[in-house]
Structure 1
Amino acid sequence: MRLKSALSKVFASFVVKGIEKWKFDAVAAQERTLKKLVNEASHTVFGVDHRFVEIKNYEDFKARVPVRDYEDLKPYIERVVAGEADILWKDKPEYLAKTSGTTSGVKYIPISKQSMPEHIKAARNALLTYIHETGNASFVDGKLIFLQGSPVLAKKNGINVGRLSGIVAHLVPAYLQKNRMPSYQTNCIEDWEQKVDAIVEETINEDMRLISGIPPWVQMYFDKLTEKSGGKQIKDIFKNFQLFVYGGVNFEPYRAKIEASIGKKIAAIETYPASEGFIAYQDSQTEKGLLLLADAGMFYEFIPSEEYYNEKPTRLSLAEVELDKNYALILNTNAGLWGYSIGDTIKFISLNPYKIVVTGRIKHFISAFGEHVIGEEVEHALLSVANEEGIEITEFTVAPQVNPTFGELPYHEWFVEFVKAPVDLSAFALKVDKALQLKNIYYFDLIEGNILRSLKITILQKDAFVNYMKSEGKLGGQNKVPRLSNDRKLAEGLERYIA
C-alpha cells in the first residue's frame, strides 16, 4: 500500500467520526443551522426587509420569508451582481456561479466565503466515506478525471464568475492536484466535442482509476476512447479503473450502456451537487439513497409536490417529513438564498438517518390532462420493461401530443434512442404503458376512460440527443436533457432526428 492511500484511510476514519455526530441527530443540526443563518444575515438588506431580528423559530421564519424562485429573488440578486455588499448575505460573494435557466435566461447564483468550503468538503467526504466503508483507497494512487466545464473565470464588478464545475476546478485539494486530469489547457477548451477529443488523447495511456461526470457525457468519452483504441472496452484501456462518481441525472437509464462500455460492473458514488449548494451524496455501497447534508450551512424546507402551485402551500422542516412522499426542495443557504425553490423534487427513503432520492424537476412533468406524471415514474416504466427484455436505452424524453391527426385520441409520445430497438415495438410500448399505469393512478384512469390512448414510442437516430443538444448550444458540461416536458417544444426539435 502506498503512503497516500494509507493516509487516506486514516483521514477517512477521522472524517466519518465527525459525520456520525450529526448524521443521527439531523433535526437538531438543522435547528442550529437556521438560527445561525438568521443571526448572521440579520443586518443584510434582505434580513432587515424581512425582520430577521424578530425570528425566534421556524414558525417565525415562515411567517416572514416567502418561498421564491430565481425570478422572484432577482431584484436582490441583481444588486449582488452589481457589486453591492451585504444584500442577501454579509459582504460580497466570492463567486457567481453562472447557470442557464429555462425561463430566466442566464442566472447568477452567489457563492460566499462560507458556502464554497461546504461544496469542497462534501465532494471530499463522498470519497472518504467510500474509503472508510470499503477499505479501498488505491484509486488515490492513480489518475483521476473530472469531466467538467471550463475553469476560465470572468470578472463582474469585482466578483469571479464561471460555471460551478469550473470554479471548483480551482479548489481541488492539493493532495489530488498531481493526480487530476485533464490538463488545465485542455479543460479550458470551450467546444465540448473538441474538448473530449483532447481528453481522450491525454488520458488513453494513463493509469485512470476514478472517473467523474454526468453519465451521458461520460458515455461520450467512453465511446471516443473505444473508437480511438480500435474497439477496446474501458476495462482493457484503464486496467485499474475502479470508481465512477456521478451526479446531475439518474444513473439508471444509462447504467446498462455504460457498464457494457466498461465491460464489467464498477463501484459508483452518486452525488447531488448544485450551484446553490452541495445537498447530498451516497454514503454507502450497501444502502440505498443519498445522505442529506444537515450540517452544511443550509436549512432545508419541503413542500408536498401536489401543493407546490397552491397559493399557500404547506412548508415543512426536516422534523416533519414522511417517507415515500414527493416534496419540492426549498433552500436557505449561507450564500444568501432564502426560501429558494431549487426546482427539484425529492422523497425520503430513510428517516434515521435522513436519506433521499431525487425524483425529478417540479417543472418537468406531464399534466396536459391532469395526470401529473413525473420523471421517476417514466424512468421506472421504461427501464423495468427494458431490463426485463434485455433492451438497452441510450436516452429518452416524453411529451404530450394534445392534437393528434386522423381523429386519434391524445397520447404521450416517447422519443427514444435505443442501442438496439425492440423487435416488436408495439408490444414493447404496450408493456411500458401498462407499467406507467401501475405507477400513476391518474394516468390509468385516463387510459381506462378513453381520454388518452396508450403511449407511442418514436425511435430516434443514433446520436440524436447529442446532435440536438449540440444544435441548442448545450452539449456537455452540466447540461442535461429534460426527461419530461408539458409542451411540444423539445419534441419538435427532435422530430428532425426520427429514424
Structure 2
Amino acid sequence: MGLKSILSKPLAKYTVKQQNKWAKQPVKAQDDVFKSLISGAEHTAFGKDHNFNEIKNYEDFKKHVPIRDYEDLRPYIDRIIAGESDVLWKGKPTYLAKTSGTTSGMKYIPITKDSIPNHINSAKNAMLNYIAETGNAEFLDHKMIFLSGSPVLDKVGGILTGRLSGISNHMVPSYLKKNQVPTYETNCIEDWEDKLDNIVRETFDESMSFISGIPPWVQMYFDQLEEKSGKKIADLFPNFSLFMYGGVNFAPYREKLFDSIGKKVDSIETYPASEGFIAFQDSQKEDGLLIQLNSGIFFEFVPVEEYGSDNPTRLSIKDVELGKNYALILNSNAGLWGYSIGDTVKFVSKDPYRLVVSGRIKHYISAFGEHVIGEEVEKAMNHALSVCPEVKITEFSVAPQVNPTEGLPYHEWLVSFEQLPNDLDKFGKAIDEKLSELNGYYKDLIVGSITRNAVITPLQKDAFQQYMKSIGKLGGQNKVPRLANNRDIADKILEWKLEETK
C-alpha cells in the first residue's frame, strides 16, 4: 500500500465526520448558506436591483427574486463580459464555463473564487466517502484517467473560458496530477477521435486503477482498447477497481460496460453541472446522491406540474416530499439567482437528503398529452433489457411520429444495438408494458386507439457516435438527449438505420 492510500484513510474518516454534522442539520445548513449568499451579494448590481438589503428570510427572497433561465440572466452576463465588476457576485468570475444552450446559443456560466471549492471539494469528497465506507484506497497508488474536454482555455471579456470538464482539469489537486493520464498535450487535442487514439496509446501499458467519464465515451475508450489488445479491460488493467461517472443514467450502459471490463468494479455516481456540483453518491449501499447543502448553493424546488406557471410553488429543502418530481432551482456564490438549470429531481431519502435525477424539463414527449419523461423511458428500457437479457445497447433516444405514412401515430424508439434481441416484438412489448404501467396517459392513448404501440427502430451500433460527430459534438461532456417532443434528432439519425431494416 502506497503513501497516498495510507494517508487518505484518516482524511476520509475526518471528511465523513464533518459531512455528517451538516447532513444531520440540513435546514440549518441551507439557512446558513442563504444568509451568506444574501450578505455576499447585497452590494452587487443584481443585489441592488432586487433589493437584497430588504431580504431577511426566504419568503422575502421569493418576493424579490423571480425564477429565471439563461436568457433572463443574460443582460447581467453581458455586463460581466463587457468588463464590469460586482455584477452577480462580488468581483469578477475566475472562469466562465461555456455550454451549449438549446435556445440561447452559447451560454457562459460564471465560476467565482468562492464557488470553485464547490466543484473541487464535491468531487474529492465523493472519493473520500467511498474510501471511508469500503476501505479501498489502493486505486490512489496507480494511474487515474479523467476523460474530459480540452483544458485549453480562451478568454472572453478577459475571463478564462472553456468547457467545465476542461476547466476542472485545472482544479485537479497536485497530489493526484502525478498519477493522472493522459498527458496534457493529449488532453488538449480538440478532435475526439484523434484524442482517443492518443489516450489509448498512452494508457495501453499503464497500471490503470481509476477511470472517470461519461459512460458512452468511456465505452468508446474500452472498445478501442479491446480492439487493440484482444483482451478484456480487467485483463489489460488488473488494478482497475473504481469507475466514476456522471451526466447520464448509468443503467442502460451498465451491462455492456461491465462486459467490456470483464469483472464487476465499484462505481461512484456524481451530479456535476456547469452551474454547480449538485450531489454525489456517498454510499455503495444506499440509493440516491447526497445533495450538497453546505457548499455555496441554496436550493429551491418547484413541483414539475407547476413549472412555467405565473406563480409556481417554490420550496426549500425542509418542505420537499419523497417520490415527487421537482424542477431544480439554484442560488449560488457563482452569482446564479432563482436559476433553473433545466433538470428535474426526485428525493429518495430525507435522512440524509438524497436525490436522483429524473429528467430534463424540456426533454419530454407530449405530442398527444402523455408527458412521458426521461425517468420513465429509462425505466422502460431497463425493464426490456431484463426481459431480453441477450440484448446489449450502446445508446437510444425516443421521439414521436405524429404523421406516419400508414397506421396510427406512435413513439419511435431509435436504438443502437450491440446485440439485437432474439425477438424484436417481445423487446418492444416489454417497453410498452412498463411505460404503460408508469404513465397512465400513455396507456390510455393506446387503449383508446389514439396511438399504437411503440415502434423499435434498430440502428448501427455506432449511430449516435456518428450523429454526434456529424454535428461537431463527439466526445467530451456532450450527451444525446434521451427523448424529444419533435423529430429534429430522430429524422437525422435514421441515416444510420440498420441496412436490413430499411
The interval holding the TM-score normalised by the smaller chain is: over 0.9
**1:34 paired residue number:** 34
**1:444 paired residue number:** 443
**1:210 paired residue number:** 210
**1:368 paired residue number:** 367
C-alpha separation in 2, matches of 1:73 and 1:432: 40
C-alpha separation in 1, matches of 2:203 and 2:156: 34
**2:173 paired residue number:** 173
C-alpha separation in 2, matches of 1:19 and 1:299: 17
C-alpha separation in 1, matches of 2:392 and 2:421: 9
The Cα offsets for residues 381-422 of structure 1, whole Å up to 9 and x where unpaired, read as: 11112122212111100000111112x111100000111111
1:278 and 2:277 are equivalent in the alignment: yes
Q: Is contact 1:397-1:482 (8 Å) kept?
A: yes
1:319 and 2:318 are equivalent in the alignment: yes
Please report how far the alpha carbon of residue 444 of structure 1 lies from its aligned counterpart in structure 2 after TM superposition. 1.0
**1:63 paired residue number:** 63
1:92 and 2:92 are equivalent in the alignment: yes
The Cα offsets for residues 154-177 of structure 1, whole Å up to 9 and x where unpaired, read as: 112221111111111112111101
Please report how far the alpha carbon of residue 306 of structure 1 lies from its aligned counterpart in structure 2 after TM superposition. 1.2
State the TM-score, normalizing by the size of structure 1.
0.99
Please report how far the alpha carbon of residue 309 of structure 1 lies from its aligned counterpart in structure 2 after TM superposition. 2.1
Residue type at the aligned position of 1:374: I
SS at match of 2:483: coil
C-alpha separation in 2, matches of 1:431 and 1:250: 20
Residue type at the aligned position of 2:489: L
C-alpha separation in 2, matches of 1:210 and 1:431: 36
1:423 and 2:425 are equivalent in the alignment: no
Report the more deviating stretch, 286-295 or 165-174: 165-174
Please report how far the alpha carbon of residue 103 of structure 1 lies from its aligned counterpart in structure 2 after TM superposition. 1.1
**1:470 paired residue number:** 469
Residue type at the aligned position of 2:246: G
C-alpha separation in 1, matches of 2:213 and 2:40: 35
Please report how far the alpha carbon of residue 49 of structure 1 lies from its aligned counterpart in structure 2 after TM superposition. 0.4
**1:357 paired residue number:** 356
Please report how far the alpha carbon of residue 427 of structure 1 lies from its aligned counterpart in structure 2 after TM superposition. 2.5
Report the more deviating stretch, 342-351 or 448-457: 448-457
C-alpha separation in 2, matches of 1:462 and 1:19: 43
Q: What are the within-5 Å matches in structure 2 for residues 182-201 of structure 1?
A: 182-201=182-201
Residue type at the aligned position of 1:401: Q
The Cα offsets for residues 6-43 of structure 1, whole Å up to 9 and x where unpaired, read as: 10101111111110110111111001111110111011
**2:452 paired residue number:** 453
1:256 and 2:218 are equivalent in the alignment: no
Q: What are the within-5 Å matches in structure 2 for residues 325-336 of structure 1?
A: 325-336=324-335
The Cα offsets for residues 445-477 of structure 1, whole Å up to 9 and x where unpaired, read as: 111111111110111112000000000111011
C-alpha separation in 2, matches of 1:383 and 1:192: 29
C-alpha separation in 2, matches of 1:175 and 1:15: 17
C-alpha separation in 2, matches of 1:269 and 1:41: 34
SS at match of 1:419: strand
CA RMSD of aligned residues (A): 0.8
The Cα offsets for residues 301-350 of structure 1, whole Å up to 9 and x where unpaired, read as: 00111111212111111010000000000000101000000000000000
Please report how far the alpha carbon of residue 126 of structure 1 lies from its aligned counterpart in structure 2 after TM superposition. 0.4
Report the more deviating stretch, 391-400 or 380-389: 380-389
Q: Is contact 1:81-1:108 (8 Å) kept?
A: no
Q: Is contact 1:149-1:166 (8 Å) kept?
A: yes
The Cα offsets for residues 337-371 of structure 1, whole Å up to 9 and x where unpaired, read as: 00000000000000110000001111000011111
C-alpha separation in 1, matches of 2:214 and 2:203: 18
Q: Is contact 2:363-2:482 (8 Å) kept?
A: yes
Please report how far the alpha carbon of residue 233 of structure 1 lies from its aligned counterpart in structure 2 after TM superposition. 0.3
Residue type at the aligned position of 1:266: V
**2:8 paired residue number:** 8
Q: Is contact 2:384-2:428 (8 Å) kept?
A: no
Q: What are the within-5 Å matches in structure 2 for residues 15-414 of structure 1?
A: 15-229=15-229, 231-390=230-389, 391-406=391-406, 408-414=407-413
C-alpha separation in 2, matches of 1:138 and 1:465: 36
Residue type at the aligned position of 2:343: D
Report the more deviating stretch, 92-101 or 422-431: 422-431
- Extract unaligned runs of 5+ from structure 2: none
Work out the number of aligned pairs and report it: 497
Residue type at the aligned position of 2:415: V
C-alpha separation in 1, matches of 2:140 and 2:303: 41
Runs (4+) of structure 1 exceeding 6 A deviation are none
Residue type at the aligned position of 2:477: Q
SS at match of 2:210: strand
Q: Is contact 1:245-1:268 (8 Å) kept?
A: yes
Please report how far the alpha carbon of residue 119 of structure 1 lies from its aligned counterpart in structure 2 after TM superposition. 0.4
**1:483 paired residue number:** 482
Please report how far the alpha carbon of residue 130 of structure 1 lies from its aligned counterpart in structure 2 after TM superposition. 0.4
C-alpha separation in 2, matches of 1:99 and 1:108: 7
Q: Is contact 2:409-2:450 (8 Å) kept?
A: yes
The Cα offsets for residues 43-63 of structure 1, whole Å up to 9 and x where unpaired, read as: 101000000010011110001
SS at match of 1:245: strand
C-alpha separation in 2, matches of 1:193 and 1:102: 25
Residue type at the aligned position of 2:74: K
Residue type at the aligned position of 1:199: I
C-alpha separation in 2, matches of 1:92 and 1:132: 37
Q: Is contact 2:300-2:317 (8 Å) kept?
A: yes
Residue type at the aligned position of 2:54: E
C-alpha separation in 2, matches of 1:359 and 1:220: 25
SS at match of 1:206: coil
Please report how far the alpha carbon of residue 431 of structure 1 lies from its aligned counterpart in structure 2 after TM superposition. 1.9
Please report how far the alpha carbon of residue 128 of structure 1 lies from its aligned counterpart in structure 2 after TM superposition. 0.4
C-alpha separation in 2, matches of 1:163 and 1:204: 27
Residue type at the aligned position of 1:102: T
Please report how far the alpha carbon of residue 297 of structure 1 lies from its aligned counterpart in structure 2 after TM superposition. 0.1
Residue type at the aligned position of 1:423: N
